[in-house]
Amino acid sequence: MATWKKGLFECDIMRAFTTYLCGPCTIAEIHMLAKPDFLGLSKCMACCLPIKPCQLYVYGQELANKGGFKESCLNGVLKIWCCGLCYTMQQYNEALGGSEGKGCGDLLSTCSK
């Protein structure tokens, strides 16, 4: 049975720190990797729009479908509610598909690209 590539608490410390400082930047990056057509948002709008929990839920469901597994609605909501930072990191790792991803400075400047 397929599942997430990394567990909920398997975080790269620098990426977690960057996400803690600017979660919207990481969510905008997930937006571009997972579901760039969500609500017709550009990367900058995905970063600035104040609906992060909704975005995390939609992207989590999309990444689960792409990964060939199902994540229950309750599970997604509980992850957002209990540890949104960890869930954001898990989604970013899944969206990257095991690749390295952006560095700290690149991720923080993601809104302008």
Q: What is the pTM of this model?
A: 0.82
Tokens found for residue 33: 């990797």
The residue ranges of every structural domain in the chain are 13-97
Instruction: Look at residue 103 in the predicted model and tell me its pLDDT.
Output: 59
pLDDT tens by residue, the chain, 113 residues: 678 888 888 888 888 898 899 889 899 999 999 888 888 888 888 888 888 999 999 999 999 999 899 999 999 999 999 999 999 999 999 998 866 666 555 655 555 55
Q: Are 35 and 59 in contact (CB under 8 A)?
A: yes
CA dihedral 54, 102, 17, 48 (to 10 degrees): -40
